[in-house]
């Protein structure tokens, strides 16, 4: 009986080891893939979308074509978004005069609470209402399958996605992406 238990244990260890090895091997190519080779999603869903301003006036995103754009999806309840907003405010001050368009797309449905939040955080760039349903659908269409916030997409002048980032976009990363786009 002791022999059977030992064989059963050995078999279990072998199966567990193979499972771990397979999982690591499946992850390894993505981990070694250089950032420059990263395939960006199509920007088409952005240019097909229409957001609204605080008063419900439509904001047609197709009008962004030809402009370097920082499109940031966020929400008032999102703690990392609150951390990131001052970086975007500083980015607007630095890059707005150079023609970069910053848009904060609120993934929420209540314009009044978003407006109050934007005022309290002294947001100096355009804030648009993406809405919960449309905002989440757009996040997923842009490759953010978990619809995590914040999520930022940077478009070049040709309308291509130059960078996409789920999580807080640092000032250093913003500069790293924008500076070459403005040369």
- Whether 143 maps to a domain, the answer reads yes
CATH number of the domain residue 63 falls in: 3.40.30.10
Count of domains observed in the chain: 2
- Whether 112 maps to a domain, the answer reads yes
Backbone dihedral region for residue 66 (phi beyond 0: left; psi -120 to 50: alpha; all else: beta): left
- Whether 56 maps to a domain, the answer reads yes
How many whole angstroms separate alpha carbon 3 and alpha carbon 132? 60
- Whether 38 maps to a domain, the answer reads no
**Predicted confidence band at 146 (pLDDT cuts at 50, 70, 90)?**
very high
Are 26 and 94 in a shared domain? no
- Whether 103 maps to a domain, the answer reads yes
Are 23 and 110 in a shared domain? no
Are 154 and 91 in a shared domain? yes
Range of the domain at 18: 2-33
Are 28 and 80 in a shared domain? no
- Whether 177 maps to a domain, the answer reads yes
Place of tokens 């913003």: 174
pLDDT value, residue 32: 34
The pTM of this model reads 0.80
pLDDT value, residue 2: 54
What are the pLDDT digits (tens) for 16-51?
A: 343 333 333 333 333 333 355 578 999 999 999 999
Spatial contact of 46 and 142, defined as CB atoms under 8 Å apart: yes
Are 155 and 83 in a shared domain? yes
Mean pLDDT of 78-88: 98
Are 16 and 48 in a shared domain? no
Are 117 and 148 in a shared domain? yes
The proportion of the chain whose per-residue pLDDT surpasses 90, expressed as a percent, equals 79
Beta bridge partners of residue 72, listed in sequence order: 104, 152
What are the pLDDT digits (tens) for 96-128?
A: 999 999 999 999 999 999 999 999 999 999 999
Are 117 and 97 in a shared domain? yes
pLDDT value, residue 128: 98
Are 64 and 90 in a shared domain? yes
């Amino acid at each position: 009986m002791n022999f059977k238990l030992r064989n059963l244990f050995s078999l279990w260890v072998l199966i567990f080891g193979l499972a771990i090895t397979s999982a690591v091997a499946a992850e390894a190519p993505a981990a070694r893939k250089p950032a420059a080779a990263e395939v960006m999603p199509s920007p088409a869903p952005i240019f097909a979308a229409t957001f609204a301003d605080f008063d419900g006036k439509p904001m047609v995103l197709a009008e962004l074509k030809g402009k370097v754009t920082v499109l940031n999806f966020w929400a008032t309840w999102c703690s990392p978004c609150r951390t990131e907003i001052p970086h975007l405010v500083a980015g607007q001050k630095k890059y707005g005069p150079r023609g970069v368009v910053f848009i904060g797309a609120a993934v929420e449905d209540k314009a009044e609470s978003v407006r109050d939040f934007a005022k309290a955080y002294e947001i100096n760039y355009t804030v648009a209402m993406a809405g919960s349903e449309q905002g989440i659908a757009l996040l997923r269409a842009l490759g953010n399958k978990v619809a995590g916030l914040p999520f930022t997409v940077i478009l070049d002048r040709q309308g291509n996605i130059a960078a996409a980032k789920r999580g807080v976009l640092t000032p250093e990363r913003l500069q790293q992406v924008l500076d070459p786009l403005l040369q």
